[in-house]
Structure 1
């Protein structure tokens, strides 16, 4: 596997800095779930079920707020759209350690509603900074970076929560949220092609005249009377359905890994097994991004679901570890393929909103996948969780591919019917050479 596509990618103006900013800015979100869970269980002395309610409140708030926040980025510009999220979310996590359980549930919902849209902003900016021919590599690298963040940040969160206190851990999440938001506001990555051109012109003006222009390009959607661009199309809905399916499989697999290790009294192995799973995803993502062919998101989701099946047959922790490495390989490719497809299908004027809908679709998949597989695990064991993830993933992806095939066949039949009529109505021409 050659890494030259990534070298070429990181040489593009602004891309390396965006990747580094994204790695840091995602840390608060990646750590918050486990920190909140430990705070509810260890400090508030509640059960894991009640901790799940708090995490679910964040998730529901995020699902509702993501498209709205993305639309604010589209209409107001990044900096103005980020300020309310940074203020509200950081305030919630700083105050959270001093709230009772019921108030914490409400506060968690508000935090989710105003969650700093790091993921969608980074993907939106990559779609602007990276030429179409290199976007598959760019989004693959983004998925790999996300995996690395989610491998490391929860570990740090657990260490602070257990070795110091959950109060310090939650306040740290709040402080790091401010830092992440400030970093994004300072960097102000472009979310429109027009912004890239305007900044290039501004840089040229500085070089020529030594003066820094103060005007910032206004997003077109914010201009009164600007046309409303149609964003919902059948193709876009299919890709969002793929996002639901991949999130379902991933979250169901996550729950099943924990259940399997717990059934073998190997709870202490959860961390390294999940790290191996993420490691497989990193390898798969790097290989996919360095390759030359793009694959439809539904095909990658289908592969992901099929490669999850061997985990259902694992009878020991070592066999499970090997199985989840295999299952992890298509994860990052599937996620990056979904993002690349959405960027290609969504007009720039509505791309922030569409990235928000991607987050909502992932949330829906997670909200269904974890509890449904948990229900099967409680009744039939951990293997049933992996089996459910695999079978339903195959059904969802296979069903989506079937719908696409039928849609194409219908389009071809329509074209065949229309073609003769069009030929009859075509003007008759005479060859002058005859």
Structure 2
């Protein structure tokens, strides 16, 4: 394992402050879901199904809005988009706690469409700041920062909601989102490299020209990856609850996050790595095998090691691939589609696992989500087996695309 790739990336101008801002800016965004759930259940006195509908509305809105906002960034620049989204989210979170449930449900959808695009903007900016040959460790660092945000954000929201009130937590999330948007507005990270800006001439390429079969395959892999992760999250809770060890849930999920951090760190330091397809297949198979673990919490935690270690690498590999496949002039829209894919996967994984658990037993949730990931891997396998013709003129390192083969990529 080498540290040199990380040192090279962190020495690049703008990368270190971008990653620091990214960690802080993502915390309120990842805390939003659990905050809405706690508000609907404890303050509006609705059931978890009603809370889930609000979360679904927000998720659907985010999936619709991400590529639209990315396209707007490509055409109008980053700051106008940040200003619109920051104001819209600030208004939503300042009034959401006082809204009746039907109005909250509708505005959650609208707010989702205008959700601050922290995740896609950071990934787009990394593609602008980091040369193509160094992007793998850059996106590994990004995936690890996402993991840290998910470990901190929901926990802080629960702590504040239970110690103060869900209503106060909604104001705190809103303040955090406004501060995040303001920080990104002031920082204004580049969305295209200087060389890319000077090379942009002529009309914007049509969507058909860059939304290729390979790009669609990568987006499908991103959906399947987060589907597996969302299903695993729910299934761990259900398995430990059935075993009477629900008090250990937090520790097991925290260990799962640690495995992901370690795996992401190792992934970014390697010279040759598995392709996104291979990472998805092994992640899904490892998740399926967790069903064989005993009911004790420590056995579940140990069984999660192989799959957990591949969470951050799988997410980083997909983001890296999108950054190489998308032309610079449409990279915002492409990263928005990638963000939508991640959102859709998370939205599908939890209900899929929950439905299977309700119909059978908790550990079948691991089987269902793992099998779903393997099915997607098999579906996109033919695309990966098709090699592209070599270019007539040797490409420079910044022009080459990654993952040319099924097994490994350089």
Between structure 1 and structure 2, the one with the greater Rg is: 1
1:297 aligns with 2:276: yes
Residue number in structure 2 paired with 1:264 = 243
Residue number in structure 2 paired with 1:352 = 332
Query: 1:196 offset after TM fit, Å?
Result: 8.6
1:377 aligns with 2:357: yes
Residue number in structure 1 paired with 2:205 = 228
Q: CA RMSD in A?
A: 1.8
1:135 aligns with 2:127: no
Residue number in structure 2 paired with 1:362 = 342
Cα shift readout 1:303-344 (whole Å, capped 9, x = no counterpart): 101111232112221111111233210111000000000000
Give ranges in structure 2 of 5+ residues lacking alignment: 390-410
- Give the alignment of 1:135-174 within 5 angstroms: 135-174=135-174
Q: Is the Cα–Cα contact under 8 Å of residues 59 and 344 in structure 2 kept in the other structure?
A: no
Give the 3-state SS of the residue equivalent to 2:45 in structure 1: coil
Which of 235, 255, 273 aligns to 1:276? It is 255
Q: Is the Cα–Cα contact under 8 Å of residues 125 and 192 in structure 1 kept in the other structure?
A: yes
TM-score (normalised: structure 2): 0.90
Query: 1:269 offset after TM fit, Å?
Result: 2.2
Give ranges in structure 1 of 5+ residues lacking alignment: 199-218, 413-434
Cα shift readout 1:79-137 (whole Å, capped 9, x = no counterpart): 01111100001211111111111111112111111000000010001001111111000
Which aligned runs of 4 or more in structure 1 are off by greater than 6 angstroms? Answer: 195-198
Q: Is the Cα–Cα contact under 8 Å of residues 136 and 294 in structure 1 kept in the other structure?
A: no
CA distance in structure 1 between the partners assigned to 2:250 and 2:70 by the alignment: 33
1:318 aligns with 2:298: yes
Q: Is the Cα–Cα contact under 8 Å of residues 352 and 369 in structure 2 kept in the other structure?
A: no
1:255 aligns with 2:211: no
Residue number in structure 1 paired with 2:398 = none
CA distance in structure 2 between the partners assigned to 1:251 and 1:402 by the alignment: 26
Query: 1:195 offset after TM fit, Å?
Result: 7.8
TM-score (normalised: structure 1): 0.86
Give the 3-state SS of the residue equivalent to 2:285 in structure 1: helix
Q: Is the Cα–Cα contact under 8 Å of residues 78 and 188 in structure 2 kept in the other structure?
A: yes
Residue number in structure 2 paired with 1:11 = 11
Query: 1:263 offset after TM fit, Å?
Result: 1.3
CA distance in structure 2 between the partners assigned to 1:183 and 1:398 by the alignment: 42
Residue number in structure 1 paired with 2:264 = 285
Residue number in structure 1 paired with 2:285 = 306
